[in-house]
Structure 1
Amino acid sequence: MTRTTTPWLRRFHEAAPGAVRLVCFPHAGGSAGFFFPLSGALSPDVEVLAVQYPGRQDRRQEGCAQDVETLVAESLAALSHLDQDRPLALFGHSMGAVVAYETARRLGTPPAILFASGRRAPSRTRDESMHLQPDEVLAADLRTLGGTDSELLDDPDILRMVLPAVRADYRAIETYRHTAGPPLACPIRVLTGASDTRVTPEEAEAWQHHTTADCAVDTFPGGHFFLREVQDEITTLVRRELGALARA
């Protein structure tokens, strides 16, 4: 059963008392439900909380955030209402990796680990303007990435509902620019797809410049949404890393 801890956070499964907490940040156009399978696979050893951005699903009547800074500020506010008696880890996919990283930079106590999935290092920029393109071009980009069921994208009514959130998220991440500051003090585990055109091996390796701790890159078969193709392998990796935190 889904439980709402705040409008920004969803808990899909129960966790054991004192379990490591993993906060997950979805991709552009994505929702908290993207992490439902991971939550189920890690429960009850890990408490998975998934961030629900405004402008989609049960928050579709709310205005979408227009920049990463707003997503970070609201996520931090939501996290501040949680108890602080357990280890905290962050997981972000694509745009979510940047939101998770910027959230980690602003936490009073750094997270135990940051999982950065499907995204180049924050300091590596590309000239992108998909958020300015017509709806049909935006929809075609979603089809290319493969993160949204093609049958949904072929339904005009559903497409009209989802595109405003997608466009807002694209605007947020495409206008994001990294600002200089101290690197994180926590390990970063970078996950990337071997055939993901949005992240080159060099861009993935560049995450090492954003932490003073260890940074490891794991490459999996698949494209931008490789997480869906190798779900068991990702679950095993996350469980192993978080298990080490719990033992520590």
Structure 2
Amino acid sequence: MTVPATPAPDAGLARLWLRGLGSRRDTAHRRLFVFPHAGAGAGAYRLAEHVPDTVEVCTVQLPGREDRFGEDALTSTDAVVTALAPLIAGRTELPYAFFGHSMGALVAFEVARGLRDRGAALPGRLFLSAMRAPGVPDREPLHHLPDDALLARLAADELAGLDPELQELLLPLMRADLTLCETYAHRAAAPLPCPFTVLHGTEDDTVGEADLAGWREHTAAGCDTHRFPGGHLYVRDAQQQLARTITRTAPAWA
């Protein structure tokens, strides 16, 4: 049995972590919480531009990026859940869903479990993108590599196309986010009662079909799959299509 949402925490703190909160106060019937990928901040996602005004998009801004660059990045899912779950629990007066890409999918899943632990209203659906299921072994860990070796690996993928000075500036953040993902230890629990949609790029070589199929074990409400053209960061070029995929299920979020 779900208990009513807890009283809203400090509004200023909520808006520090949840960008877009209250932006559609007069029109929103539903809310979408967005969890960015490793190294990315809220500014990397423009889903609000492509959804109807009945959906308020709140993108998570973790410490260590964009206007929170001066803060220490978090290096564990437990730390993120501790910070975010109370803020989101106080914002569940509307039916809502989670979308998380890569690291964000893992964070979204754990926040949903944290909300269940708190007796809060749960998301109507989790959209989990480009991330292996919890409990599936990680591939070669990178977070422990020396700076030069780690930078070389990231420059060919996540940091590709950025100025070398900017790559070096972002390296500590990337190491922190990799640490969060690669030291994550899944704890067994009952499947969530929320349906899942698993999303991925057709050319993504970082996750395989078996990695993604494992998500089905973590929901008691069904799991479907949707593919987009592109690689691991397909979201950069597919935000309009992604928004359409997410919002077409919006009536069922309640």
TM-score, normalization by structure 1 = 0.88
* Partner Cα distance (1:78, 1:160) in 2: 32
Taking a change above 3 Å as real, the CA distance of residues 12 and 184 of structure 1, as seen in their structure-2 partners, is: closer
Report how many aligned residue pairs link the two structures: 238
Q: Is 1:95 aligned to residue 103 of structure 2?
A: yes
Counterpart residue number, 1:109? 121
Name the SS of the counterpart of 2:177 in structure 1.
helix
| Structure 1 moving runs of 4+ over 4 Å | none
Cα shift at 1:136? 3.3
Cα shift at 1:214? 1.2
* Partner Cα distance (1:22, 1:45) in 2: 11
**Partner AA of 2:245 in structure 1:** L
Counterpart selection for 1:17 from 27, 50, 54:
27
Name the SS of the counterpart of 1:198 in structure 2.
coil
* Partner Cα distance (1:58, 1:9) in 2: 13
Q: Is 1:224 aligned to residue 235 of structure 2?
A: no
Where in structure 2 are the equivalents of 1:117-136 lying within 5 Å? 117-136=129-148
Gaps in structure 2 of 5+ consecutive residues: 1-11
Gaps in structure 1 of 5+ consecutive residues: none
**Partner AA of 1:38 in structure 2:** L
Counterpart selection for 1:78 from 87, 93, 102:
87
Name the SS of the counterpart of 1:190 in structure 2.
strand
* Partner Cα distance (1:11, 1:225) in 2: 23
Counterpart selection for 2:77 from 40, 65, 68:
68
TM-score, normalization by structure 2 = 0.86
Taking a change above 3 Å as real, the CA distance of residues 227 and 13 of structure 1, as seen in their structure-2 partners, is: farther
Q: Is the 8 A contact 1:10 1:51 kept in 2?
A: yes
* Partner Cα distance (1:155, 1:143) in 2: 9
RMSD value, Cα: 2.1
Q: Is the 8 A contact 1:89 1:111 kept in 2?
A: yes
* Partner Cα distance (1:161, 1:102) in 2: 29
Name the SS of the counterpart of 1:7 in structure 2.
helix
Counterpart residue number, 2:64? 55
Counterpart selection for 2:208 from 194, 200, 209:
200
Percent identity, aligned pairs only, is: 38
Cα shift at 1:232? 2.7
